[in-house]
Amino acid sequence: MGCEHLDEYYELYLLGALTEGACIDINDHLERQCPYCLERLREAAHSVYLLTLTARPARLNPKMKSQLMKRIHKK
């Protein structure tokens, strides 16, 4: 079996949106320098990068921002 079963996961992997099990599968292939997975990850990185260029920055409500900053400083 090839690596095609991972094709739908590379973008999610880069965004940190995968389950631990799926991450382990991809990490295993990347550690072995799998040429297929490395190429697909490069393509996914390009896609994710292009998507970030089209997204508008989010503006937090000042009250929410204040609450978030308080939580950050407590830790």
Task: Say whether pTM exceeds 0.85.
Answer: no
The kind and range of the H/E element at 31 are helix 20-31
Domain segments of the chain: what residues? 4-74
Higher per-residue pLDDT: 71 or 37: 37
Using a pLDDT cut of 90, give the percent of the chain over it: 47
Using CA atoms, how far apart are residues 42 and 19, in angstroms rounded to an integer? 20
CA dihedral 15, 21, 26, 31 (to 10 degrees): 120
Provide the mean pLDDT of the chain.
Answer: 89
Higher per-residue pLDDT: 49 or 61: 49
Q: Using the structure block, give the residue that is written with the tokens 């996961």.
A: 9
Using a pLDDT cut of 70, give the percent of the chain over it: 97
